Amino acid sequence: MAISDWQPSPDQTRARYPDQEGSVDQNGCEIFYEVYGEEHRPGDAEEKQGTLLFVPAWSVVHSRMWKAQIAYFARRHRVIVYDPRGNGRSGRPTEVEAYSEIENAADIGAVMDATSTASAAIVTSSRGCQRSLLFANDHPDRVERVVFMSCGTMTAPERANYRDFIWRVMAQRDVSEETLPAIKWFNQEAWLRDPENFRRFLVQFFEDFFEPHSTKHIEDGLAWGLDTDPLSLSLAHLGWQPDAKEGRELAASMTCPSLVIHGTDDIVTPFAEGQALAECLGARLETVHDSGHGPQMRKPVQVNLAIREFVEPDFERKPRRVKRGGGKKRALFISSPIGLGHAQRDVAIARSLREQVPDLEIEWLAQHPVTKVLEAEGEVIHPASAALANESHHIEAESAEHDLHCFHAIRRMDEISIANFMVFHDILREGQHDLVVGDEAWEVDYYLHENSGEKRAPYVWLTDFVGFLPMEDGGDHEVFLTADYNAEMIEHIAEHPDVRDRAIFVGNADDIVPERFGADLPVIREWTEQNYDFSGYVTGFDPATLPGRDELRNDLGYREDEKVCIVSVGGSGVGRSLLEKVIAAHPYACEKDPALRTIVVAGPRIDPATLPTHDRLEVVPYVHNLYRHLAACDLAVVQGGLTTSMELAANRRPFLYFPLKHHFEQNFHVRHRLENYRAGRCMDYDAVAPESLGEAMANELARPVDYRPVETDGASRAAKLISELL
């Protein structure tokens, strides 16, 4: 990768926001902190497990490095994080003495005092291990236990010389010919002379920091590194640290329980460091195989479970083995909240599954707007669903005017994804379910493959597309990123074929795009045919069971002398711009066809009162069983979502569809499938004004349809594949 290709990842929607934030002055430097889970404050009636204080590492990163831990632990602990001096929202002293590990250790006490924390369990990483050793020795009454991770304590004998070497390179003292190649990466003078040298160092540092398939983590690291500056970071590196002898003495004198976590592929502080520190402490070493310097970011499930086991005496890391007799079977269904299409087809599959497996009990791990559908259908929602971080909110935050870069939005949902997987994992380890079904439950599928030993029940994966595809204007870098994500998925399946007991493609082989996963990767269709079963499309309803169209229109209150246009954009708020454009086009369409009546469905996440209206146009909220209205309409205008467009295809209704800009699934996968069915007319949102859209609506009303028939047994076929596991 070229240095210029890497861009910092913008801060994304958080899985949880702080209950309190503030700063404290510690010897002239402001230290910024955040507090989560205040309901678990020691002494309160709702106290559960006490306080966890996450101590930062070297100033190249700040408190966001703990984003994969915060939401999980804040559900049962009071959690405190703070930015190190020199980065984030903390101060940036200009003297090297201010970055001494003595000062950094004092910051721990200052944050505890400012948050009224008498004592806490400490979790720390890299160079933060040094300040935590110092603080734990000076204040043993305030430290209940310590988790040391990616240990930067220089306790391994061979590391003492390395630190002296790097110190001399940073300060340009006694630099020999052999050390010159390192200067462009790790040198104060070079950083101060040219900011590009500093940026080049950050990219190189974080590329070395992580294992393969860590593109998002490298981008995060670059963003955090750019939140400091060359002077602050160089001073933070040159500040006083305990030497190897002092480090071993500090470890040997520790009185509180401790745990060491270290990755075997860490080249910043090699695995030998963790081994040496664990030996000095007399502590258990949690080995994170194949992990680099950031296991809490790259291997968060194992790290979270190891920390929880250590800080919660009652937590059993190995889940209880619950022997269930020959009674009712129980299934846990996870339905993606990105749109409502997954919920509609999943309810149809669940209905068919109950027919094939008598007395089957199904619980749903779901969030809004999926819960809107489930509640209307009388389904049982698992109480842990209340702990899920909202994915639809994140997707809406990533969108602009009819524009959603779906691939990057999914990548930037990583904090929400790990938080929601940990909710799922808490349910899974109870051992109460005989089956798990995930419909595009990306976080479940990804982290189960990353942690195959945590699988506790047969698992079914459902999806209606396979393969991330780059948008043309994303350039070579996006081509690289999508291929890297696809390659990791392919490796997951090859290395852990036992994770997915069934992989079901909701459709047929002809619906798969004729593309490769990447230049040196397999053809998507060929690979999918080798690794998936095919259910055919799942409409969620059988058109044959609907009343005749005249009877249906009468039931819905539509008159014979009017032509009904349904406008719908799915379950998220991303479609507001399209709704507004169609509303503006309505008067022009009425000029062409005065019989037109337009019904705009705002859905569950857009307030109808915020949208304008016209004569013969009405705006309504969420409509349950919208497919009935789509079957009765004369025209529909929709986004590029698969479910609504395929419902229209199944009912043989004319429709215009507008794929969201930069939404690879709608622009490639869905469009390919609709063209395969000869269904709908694809429109470019930017290319149509209200006048031309109104004309297109009127023209489409008169256009006859010639769609391929859509199968009606997809739900029962999918249910048959699933039921075999029960």
The answer to whether position 625 is within a domain reads yes
Residue closest to 201 by CA, chosen among 213, 215, 214, 187: 187
Rounded Cα–Cα distance for residues 317 and 429 (Å): 9
How many structural domains is the chain composed of? 3
Statement: residue 14 has pLDDT above 70? yes
Q: pLDDT digits over 161-173, tens only?
A: 555 555 555 655 5
* E strand residue ranges, 535-616: 563-568, 596-601
Instruction: Return mean pLDDT, the chain.
Output: 91
Q: How far is CA 683 from CA 427, 564, 583, 651, in A?
A: 44, 20, 16, 20
For residue 309, what are its two tokens? 């086991």
Do the strands 258-263 and 284-288 form a parallel or antiparallel pair, or are they unpaired? parallel
Identify the H or E element spanning 416: helix 414-428
Q: Residue holding tokens 């304008």?
A: 612
Q: pLDDT digits over 76-130, tens only?
A: 999 999 999 999 999 999 999 999 999 999 999 999 999 999 999 999 999 999 9
Picking from 259, 287, 314, the residue at the C-terminal end of a domain is 314
**Burial class of 286 by CB neighbour count within 10 A (0 to 12, 13 to 18, 19+):** buried
Mutual angle of helices 157-171 and 230-238, in 10-degree steps: 140
The answer to whether position 60 is within a domain reads yes
Say what the pLDDT of residue 320 is.
61
Backbone angles phi and psi of 319, in degrees to 5: -65, 155
Residues 416 and 351 in one domain: yes
Using an 8 Å Cβ cutoff, are 638 and 569 in contact? yes
Spell 705-718 as b/e; 16+ CB within 10 A means b.
Answer: eebeebebbbbbbb
Residues 377 and 491 in one domain: yes
Statement: residue 445 has pLDDT above 70? yes
Residues 225 and 202 in one domain: yes
Kindly tell me the sign of the dihedral angle through the C-alpha atoms of 670, 416, 388, 307.
positive
Picking from 314, 346, 379, the residue at the C-terminal end of a domain is 314
Residues 350 and 483 in one domain: yes
Q: pLDDT digits over 475-511, tens only?
A: 999 999 999 999 999 999 999 999 999 999 999 999 9
Residue closest to 287 by CA, chosen among 306, 304, 268, 301: 306
Q: Which of 217-226, 327-336, 493-502, 539-548 has the lowest mean pLDDT?
A: 539-548
Residues 440 and 551 in one domain: no
Say what the pLDDT of residue 578 is.
94
Residues 533 and 552 in one domain: no
Picking from 244, 279, 314, the residue at the C-terminal end of a domain is 314
Rounded Cα–Cα distance for residues 133 and 151 (Å): 11
Cα-Cα end-to-end distance for the chain: 47
Say what the pLDDT of residue 47 is.
46
Half-sphere exposure of 47 (CA within 13 A, CB side): 9
Do the strands 78-82 and 120-125 form a parallel or antiparallel pair, or are they unpaired? unpaired
Using an 8 Å Cβ cutoff, are 694 and 588 in contact? yes
Domain that holds residue 117: 18-314
* Three-class secondary structure assignment of 110-134: HHHHHCCCCCEEEEEECCHHHHHHH
Rounded Cα–Cα distance for residues 420 and 390 (Å): 9
Residues 27 and 76 in one domain: yes
Rounded Cα–Cα distance for residues 609 and 621 (Å): 9
The answer to whether position 523 is within a domain reads yes
Using an 8 Å Cβ cutoff, are 242 and 133 in contact? yes
Rounded Cα–Cα distance for residues 719 and 690 (Å): 44
Residues 597 and 697 in one domain: yes
- DSSP 8-state class, residue 509: G
Percent of the chain with pLDDT over 90: 75
The answer to whether position 322 is within a domain reads no
Tell me if residue 162 falls in helix, strand or coil.
helix
The answer to whether position 323 is within a domain reads no
Give the domain CATH number at 604.
Answer: 3.40.50.2000
Q: pLDDT digits over 259-289, tens only?
A: 999 999 998 888 999 999 999 999 999 999 9
Question: What residues have CB less than 8 Å from 43, skipping those under 6 apart?
Answer: none
Q: pLDDT digits over 581-595, tens only?
A: 999 999 999 999 999
For residue 567, what are its two tokens? 């406008």
Residues 532 and 555 in one domain: no
Statement: residue 392 has pLDDT above 90? no
Residues 308 and 374 in one domain: no
Residues 399 and 496 in one domain: yes
Rounded Cα–Cα distance for residues 111 and 52 (Å): 12
Using an 8 Å Cβ cutoff, are 532 and 490 in contact? no
Amino acid occupying residue 306? A
Say what the pLDDT of residue 10 is.
86
The answer to whether position 5 is within a domain reads no
Residues 411 and 479 in one domain: yes
Q: Which of 94-108, 125-139, 186-200, 373-387 has the lowest mean pLDDT?
A: 186-200
Question: What residues have CB less than 8 Å from 370, skipping those under 6 apart?
Answer: 335, 336, 337, 340, 342, 343, 364, 571
Rounded Cα–Cα distance for residues 516 and 686 (Å): 29
Say what the pLDDT of residue 157 is.
66
What's the gap between Cα 712 and its chain centre?
A: 33
Statement: residue 430 has pLDDT above 90? no
The answer to whether position 508 is within a domain reads yes
Statement: residue 541 has pLDDT above 90? no
Torsion angle in degrees (nearest 10) through CA of 68, 69, 72, 75: -140
Using an 8 Å Cβ cutoff, are 364 and 335 in contact? yes
Give the domain CATH number at 80.
Answer: 3.40.50.1820
Amino acid occupying residue 668? F
Percent of the chain with pLDDT over 70: 93
Rounded Cα–Cα distance for residues 676 and 669 (Å): 11
Tell me if residue 159 falls in helix, strand or coil.
helix
Cα three-residue angle 221-226-227, rounded to 5 degrees: 100
The answer to whether position 272 is within a domain reads yes
Say what the pLDDT of residue 719 is.
97
Say what the pLDDT of residue 161 is.
53
